[in-house]
Amino acid sequence: MYNVLTIEREYGAGGSVIAAKLAKHLGWKLYDQELTAEIARVAKVDPRAVAKCDEHCEPLLYRLAKVFWRGSYEPMLQIPEGRVFDTDTLVSVAQRLIGEAARRGRCVVVGRGAPYILRQRDDRFSVFLYAPRELKIRRAMAQQKSEQEAAQLVDTIDVERATFVKRYFGKDWPYRALYDMMLNTDCGYDTAVNLILQAMEVKAQHRLSIAS
């Protein structure tokens, strides 16, 4: 019954790792870094994009965009001469590509506003992942970051994501009504994957029983 799984996450909650495990288990296509690369391809952006955005886009919004797409292919972005690539363009392209991915189905989409973009789809199962601050800092440190840097990222990225979502989707982040499940990942990645799969199955069966 479910054809699209969206994973929204706090920084350090393990969203990308859990999403990759889910995609592998389900045999579905994963849209995480791949989605960002596709947006760069569609937008035809070159390495001058960062400088051009600094000149043509409100600095706060461009900074928020970089945070929202953190871990992206920013060094690969290209842009045609005379064209501005800003957060408005980024969100517009993302909405189209995420919508196309959902129509094809059998996909796991990480972040990028997917729960908001796909909120009208009945075949969407949405999960929000969170974790205790101390655990998120340890996980960030495991990515070759100092404790100070890890703490700074944990304390700021989600605040900026919330601002970005409020600006472009008009909702608080996380907007609980969008999610079928909210899960504390201090249970471990594999346990989180199993719990999400179980929840999808249980809710799908419940919907079938109601429909019949």
Pairwise CA distance, residues 194 & 181, whole Å = 13
Task: Indicate the pTM of the whole model.
Answer: 0.81
Q: What is the mean pLDDT of residues 92-96?
A: 84
Count of CB atoms situated within 10 Å of the CB of 48: 13
Count of CB atoms situated within 10 Å of the CB of 1: 14
Pairwise CA distance, residues 212 & 207, whole Å = 9
- Establish if 212 belongs to a structural domain: no
Compare 34 and 159 and report the one with higher pLDDT: 159
- Residue 199: give its domain's CATH number: 3.40.50.300
pLDDT at residue 123 in the model: 94
pLDDT at 7 over 70: yes
Orientation angle between helical segments 59-68 and 147-169, nearest 10 degrees:
110
pLDDT at residue 66 in the model: 55
- Establish if 210 belongs to a structural domain: no
- For the chain, the domain total comes to 1
- Establish if 26 belongs to a structural domain: yes
- Establish if 211 belongs to a structural domain: no
Question: Could you give the 3-state DSSP secondary structure of residue 180?
Answer: coil
Domain that holds residue 101: 4-203
pLDDT at residue 52 in the model: 36
Q: 149 is written with which tokens?
A: 């840097």
- Establish if 186 belongs to a structural domain: yes
